[in-house]
Amino acid sequence: MKKKSATKRKTATEAFESASNNKDKLVLRLYIAGTTPRSTRAVMNIKEICEKNLTKHYDLEVIDIYQQPGMAKDRQIIAAPTLVKELPRPLRKFIGDMSNTDKILVGLSVKLKEQS
């Protein structure tokens, strides 16, 4: 008899919990509103920021609030696009098209704020 492989897609909760065990990994959720130009820019910008600055030390989930309105309500998302840094704590939220790379990196605690 052949054994079936135990491969199964992780649910969002399982992914969140496994990432919480890895202190070096950022858990990010980007809430967008459909395929508007602003939402599309936000997705492209945050993916570029993550790929250039975080390498493989992040989990990014893109959530369309038109398709999953309950998730936006549960997280009290009042504007889109909104990026939420879930882990590591503290929780942080960024609103807009994610075009200000330095502001995002400082907010994610990836880059130190420059001294004046």
Please write the tens of the pLDDT for every residue from 68-77: 999 999 999 9
The residue extents of the domains of the chain are 25-107
Higher pLDDT residue, 93 or 18?
Answer: 93
Name which CATH class applies to 25-107. alpha beta
Buried b (16+ CB within 10 A) or exposed e, 52-86: eebeeebbbebbbbeeeeebbeebebeebbbbbbb
Separation CA 95–CA 31 (nearest Å): 9
Separation CA 22–CA 57 (nearest Å): 9
> Would you state the pLDDT for residue 43?
98
pTM: 0.76
